[in-house]
Amino acid sequence: MIKWKSLGTLAGLVLAALALMFGTTSMAQAADEGGGDDILKIGWAQDPQTLNPFVGLDEEDFTIWAINWDLLVNFDPVDLSPSPGIAESWEVSDDKKTITFKLPEGHKWSDGEPVTSEDVKWTLENLATEGELFTSYTNNVTSIETPDPQTVVIKTKKPDARIIGGLLIYILPEHIWGKVPKDELTTTYQPSLPLVGTGPFIVTEFDRGRIIEMDRNPEFAGDKPKLDQIQFIKYGNQDAVERALQLGEIDVDPEVSAATFDNLADKPDIGVVKSPSPSFTELAFNVCPESECPDAEFNPAIQDKAVRQAIAYSVDREKINEIANRGTSFVANGLLPSYYQDFYQEPEQTYPFDPEKANQILDDAGYTREGDGIRSKDGDELSFNLYVRSESPSNIQAAKLVAEMAREVGIEFKVEVVSVDKLTELTIRQENGKPAPAFDSFIWGWGGDAYDPSFLLSLMTTGEIGGSSDAFYSNPEYDKLFEEQAGSFDTEERKDTIRQMIDLLQEDVPYLVLSEDPNLQAYRTDRLGEVDVACPEGDGDLFCEQAGYEPLLSLTTTGGSDGSSDDDGGGGSGVLIAIIAVVVIAGVAFLVIRSRRRGGEALEEDEPAEGEEPMEEPEEPEEPAEDEK
Amino acid sequence: MSARWLTGKVAAAILTLVFVVIFNFFLFRVMGDPTTQLARLPQSTPDEIEKLKADYGLDKPLLGQFADNVGDTVRGDLGISQKSRQPVVDEILDALPWTLLLVGTGTLIATLLGSWMGVIAATRRGQKTDDAMLGFSMFTYASPEYWIGIILILVFAVWIPILPSGLQVTPGVEFSSWLAEAADVAEHLILPATAMTLMLLGQYFLIMRSSMVDVLTEDFITVKRATGQRWDRVVRKHAVPNALLPLVTLSAIQFGAVVGGAITIETIFSWPGLGELTFQAINDKDFPVLQGTFLIFSFGVILANLLADILYFYLDPRVQTK
């Protein structure tokens, strides 16, 4: 009798486990099919904290905004050059200070309201002054006029090419945002959903920390997108995103980490994309002149151009890329990343790795090696602090490599790993109302705008000292050239001016740009097929992330459409039945064990072997049963 | 229960809580000026930084900020998240149920299973069952929870793909009923709850086992047996209640560790609870949110200890007579 019962218990538990497995599988299928809709699933470990561009600060925010809204002038997916956005055409006056934009007739917001010049004016006058990430784009704008609903006239105090190619301000519907009080816009305002826009998909669900759903915009002016919906799914960490991709739970991982990129590339059904981006990592030097920063703290030797040039020759940037960035970056040559195809030229001076040359320069400059191998001149030892952020393991590694390499030519870098806050403090430090940076060198990075290079170039202008400049470089010739390129609407002419600017920087070396940081993405080839990258064509990413939405129009998930249109709830109730079954069976099993105990208690003590069976088994199955609670 | 005894316990708890509020506030102020990181934003001007400081009340002197903070906390206003610009209270209330579900399930199973196994092992001390349970518990107790989590994912989501590897519910699915949704959540709960259980099980088991072993060697057990009572009755009625006391203490003290474990487990399984909220807030340096979650965690630990004291009152008659 006892034997039979324990056998029954065992059978019950096995059944329960089977039922659970079965239920689970049917659920997974139901979830995959998702009602037969063509849904693109993108996973990420960081999601936007707000949809309000007045307060949003994160990269991920841009990813959503760039799909939901248009710019006044969009970026062409082929070469990122200016292409029709909210405006279909534009004209520059002869003095280049007046630009007239024409809006197309019949263009509508997703709620059916017409898109007018008032929307543009309101956005440029509000988002561009109050939005934390959008200020300064309109610094040169003196007036915005709207002679009719289809025309916007922008006047600037000096020619500014960014008004066409770099006005990174998403045009918002004035009839919605204009009604919100300004102090609410810049603090707690959360737009209601669906998020009215002009892009191909608009946000219909925003469950922060979990999911963002974007559905097709019924009023979208371009070709109807093939996808029905895009889902951005938030995971707890980057590993979880990559696992979800490998398991096929998501279709795209837009931010693969350098450490796992090669590994993912080898996996079946997974395609990877490595594309240049407008961001770089640099070794920055404190070159602040006395006049700008009288109280700066640094080793004066760092301000000797010869020393910085020698450092540049002594550092093997290829090796840093190979080791610190696992070969995923692009070796940089100068301040402007090669990503800026229209404006980039390889500078004449690229500082190839050449320790001989470095030694030569230092010898010529009169720095001689001391007993410990570190060079010095007139008591000034070539020993510098090198700050690096604790949150970036690859930067820390790069710093150690720099120190190792420079040591070979007699220059010492003392690597100090600090928090972002600490490094910020050192760079923005002020004394008596003037900048007083307290460092010799550091490693950090910058990211530029999608097409127009002005932002990155502005980092080296005297005007940015006390602003964004963190090498505190000041060179009147550079400043003059900067103004010239910023006002140039002729790409070839502008490219030439920029080349001269980069040459000046390569000579003076306020930054030694170590690497151009790539966008690393991965996707399911069994779901999306082979995707042609865009922005720019052939050398860009999967969906023009943050620079547009063009590739999303033709993207489709092959797996999604041929599944049967099974109701989602069907699988769910299967699981439910399974779980109820487990609960019931576990309950019965419990009673059986209990009653057997009661009945056979006399035996219990003498036959401990008996007790072993029920005891070890419930461990696994009991948990799902309890989970019901 | 004497009112005076209870008042004393509650007062002590409140006092601790007050200390936590004070400590919490200054802890985040010594960590540096929260706005420095914003200064690194492209194109942020000193004016904008001043404006940000004013927005968060950071332009006031420290004591003024503290007074504001205490007042707000008492009113249940934990401030505005620097990241999402939403009230911290909302963020916490959004995440709290998920943590309670995970921590509750894990703790419940671990306590029941752990104490049950402890009783069994103690009554079969030195036998194979005891050895096996002891070995198993030592193993799970010694394993870090993130490792357990990763192994569970590897086995049940990657090698034998029968369970979801993370998240709390299948994303983007419209459920036909709340029952279907509950089933989906339950399915997602299995792995993280198992990880939670395994993390806690060993300790509960070991405490229960040693406590039982102690009790079983005491004279009154021998006496009870000598009176001819059934063995399982002696164990159930006399040994277990006495052995439970250390377990109750442990559960209360453990609460802090449970919360710590929840941060790791929630992050690994992308479970959107307080732990993940904390993890994100640390990444984002979102001080108001961190201050809020710390407060909730401390509150939880204090409450758990208070409850343990009260429970002791009922479990241990010696407390009542004092």
Summarised one tens digit per residue, pLDDT across range A188-215 is 888 998 999 999 999 999 988 889 999 9
CB within 8 Å of A458: residues ≥ 6 apart:
A464, A468, A482
**Cβ contact (<8 Å) for B271 and A244?**
no
Domains and CATH numbers, chain B: 3-74 (no CATH), 88-320 (1.10.3720.10)
CB of A66 closer than 8 Å to CB of A547: yes
Q: Which amino acid is at A317?
A: R
- Given 3.40.190.10, 3.40.50.800, 1.25.40.10, 3.10.129.10, which CATH number is that of A10-70+183-277+520-584? 3.40.190.10
**Cβ contact (<8 Å) for A240 and B124?**
no
Interface test with A, best of B47, B134, B270, B286 (most A CBs within 10 A): B270
Phi, psi of A518, deg, nearest 5? -90, 165
pLDDT at position A70 is: 94
pLDDT > 90 fraction of chain B, expressed in percent and rounded: 8
Domain boundaries, chain A: 10-70+183-277+520-584, 78-177, 279-517
In this structure, what token pair is assigned to residue A430? 């002020």
SS (H, E, C) A24-84: HHHHHHHHHHHHHCCEEEEEECCCCCCCCCCCCCCHHHHHHHHHHCCECEEECCCCCCEEE
Angle of CA points A33, A61, A99, to nearest 5°: 120
Q: How does strand A270-285 pair with strand A39-44?
A: unpaired
Cα distances from A105 to residues A75, A116, A199, in angstroms, run 21, 9, 17
Interface test with B, best of A461, A465, A580, A627 (most B CBs within 10 A): A627
Structure confidence by residue, pLDDT tens digits, A588-598: 566 555 555 55
**Cβ contact (<8 Å) for B179 and A572?**
yes
Question: Which residues in chain B are closer than 8 Å to A229, comparing Cβ atoms?
Answer: 172
- Among B86-95, B136-145, B165-174, where is mean pLDDT lowest? B165-174
- When CB atoms are compared, the residue of B39, B172, B270 closest to A236 is B270
Phi, psi of A272, deg, nearest 5? -120, 150
Structure confidence by residue, pLDDT tens digits, A384-409: 999 999 888 899 999 999 999 999 99
pLDDT (average), residues B194-200: 91
DSSP B124-175: TTTSHHHHHHHHHHHHHHHS-HHHHHHHHHIIIIIIS--S-SS-SS-TTPPP
Greatest CA separation for chain A: 106
Cα–chain center distance at B52: 34
Structure confidence by residue, pLDDT tens digits, B62-75: 777 777 777 777 77
pLDDT (average), residues A60-71: 92
What is the Cα–Cα distance from A267 to A178, expressed in whole angstroms? 49
Give this complex's ipTM: 0.78
SS (H, E, C) A485-501: HHCCCCHHHHHHHHHHH
Q: Partners of A156 in the beta sheet?
A: A141
- Fold entry, domain A78-177: Dipeptide-binding Protein; domain 1 (3.90.76)
pLDDT at position B225 is: 82
- CA of B157: which chain A residue's CA is closest? A247
Question: Which residues in chain A are closer than 8 Å to B104, comparing Cβ atoms?
Answer: 629
Structure confidence by residue, pLDDT tens digits, A256-293: 988 889 889 898 899 999 998 899 999 999 999 999 99
Structure confidence by residue, pLDDT tens digits, A161-190: 889 988 889 999 999 999 999 888 887 888
In this structure, what token pair is assigned to residue A595? 């009653």
pLDDT at position A569 is: 37
pLDDT-based confidence at residue B1 (cuts at 50, 70, 90): low
pLDDT (average), residues A498-507: 95
Interface test with A, best of B44, B84, B100 (most A CBs within 10 A): B84
- When CB atoms are compared, the residue of B46, B176, B270 closest to A240 is B270
Chain pair A-B, CB pairs under 8 angstroms: 223
Q: Partners of A152 in the beta sheet?
A: A101
The better pLDDT of the pair B29, B296 is held by: B296
- The pTM assigned to this predicted structure is 0.79
What is the Cα–Cα distance from B136 to B203, expressed in whole angstroms? 11
**Cβ contact (<8 Å) for A467 and B45?**
yes
- CA of A51: which chain B residue's CA is closest? B84
Cα distances from A489 to residues A160, A367, A482, in angstroms, run 8, 46, 13
CB of A270 closer than 8 Å to CB of A524: yes
Question: Spelled out in words, what is the top-level CATH class assigned to the domain A279-517?
Answer: alpha beta
pLDDT (average), residues A537-554: 86
CB of A64 closer than 8 Å to CB of A51: yes
Quick one: which of B139, B119, B121, B140 has its CA closest to B130? Answer: B121
- Each as own residue / partner, the long-range contacts of residues B66-72 (CB below 8 Å, 24 or more positions apart, any chain) are B66/B22, B66/B25, B66/B26, B69/B21, B69/B25, B70/B21, B70/B25
- When CB atoms are compared, the residue of B80, B112, B184 closest to A575 is B184
Residue with token string 């970036």:
A392
